[in-house]
Amino acid sequence: MENLRTGDSNQITRDYFDSLLVEMRHIDSVIPSTTLELYGERFDTPVMMAALSHLNKVRENGMVEMARGAYLANAVNWAGMGEEEELEAITATGAKTIKIIKPYADNKIIFRKIKHAQKCGALAVGMDVDHSFSGNGKYDNVLGHPMTSKSLDEIKEFVKSTDLPFIIKGVLSEQDALKCLEAGVKGIVVSHHHGIMNYAIPPLKILPRIAAIVNKQIPIFVDCGVASGMDVFKALALGATAVSAGRIIMDPLSKDGANGVKDTIIRMTEELAGVMARTCSCDMKHIDPSVIHNK
């Protein structure tokens, strides 16, 4: 009951991950493939980097080192808030990178950053709409930059402004999923932004309902608290296309840089393959959601 009293969304999310049980299916199972095909590219794993920012406190050139690790593991890299020069260095590693832009109050900044991401050869671009407000009901301010909420019409304009797939991060309701489809976005991230609001529903709890609405029209990504290949499997079984890992890579990044990131991605992918083999899941498109049970 402690979690319900404190409302810690991260602990509630962890508890929900751990409440999901997986049945085994061995007959007719084969060595599984963890290959991910996304936006015309092929990757070895559905384990992606999260849209992190400002990792220099973790390791010198931390964002670039994270990207290099993703490249070495042939995984999708994501990049959050940062200067243009940093994104250029990130994409120069060869990592296929999705750039997430804050909901700046000045849309000119957003359009400029979208254009820059496309110039850098980003795989996709998007916005974390869950950073619009602060906890006091006013618009957020991130490192001196004022934010604001975005209307459906504004999001449509962002989508139309680029040839890149446009992604909305911070979808945690059927309502927003429907609006994203209407806006023409090419991907959503089911996320509560590492507990940006107390008592937020765990992403995996709302995921099946969102997946039913999306109906495989666009990719669905999941983040928040993903710490193992088993976590990844549960997300995939419930409707995710791929999953982002964030805090789990911090310590390896700090200690071993790009190699630490690479090794963590590979380890989680191997754990995922182990669960897939024991659930008769030959590839990610053939993971049967009925293997998941609640305690």
- The ranges assigned to domains in the chain are 2-294
Architecture category of domain 2-294 in CATH: Alpha-Beta Barrel (3.20)
Q: What is the mean pLDDT of the chain?
A: 96
Residue 26 banded pLDDT, cuts 50, 70, 90: very high
The pTM (predicted TM-score) of the whole model is: 0.96
Tokens of 263: 């090794």
Given a cut of 70, whether residue 51 has pLDDT beyond it is yes
Given a cut of 70, whether residue 1 has pLDDT beyond it is no
Question: Has 54 been annotated as catalytic?
Answer: no
Given a cut of 50, whether residue 72 has pLDDT beyond it is yes
Given a cut of 50, whether residue 2 has pLDDT beyond it is no
Given a cut of 80, whether residue 185 has pLDDT beyond it is yes
Residue 295 banded pLDDT, cuts 50, 70, 90: confident
Segment 143-149 shows an average pLDDT of: 95
Catalytically annotated residue among 131, 192, 193, 194: 193
194-231 residue pLDDT tens = 999 999 999 999 999 999 999 999 999 999 999 999 99
Strand blocks (E) in the chain: 20-22, 36-38, 41-43, 47-49, 77-79, 97-101, 124-128, 141-142, 145-146, 166-171, 187-190, 220-222, 242-245, 292-294
SS3 119: helix
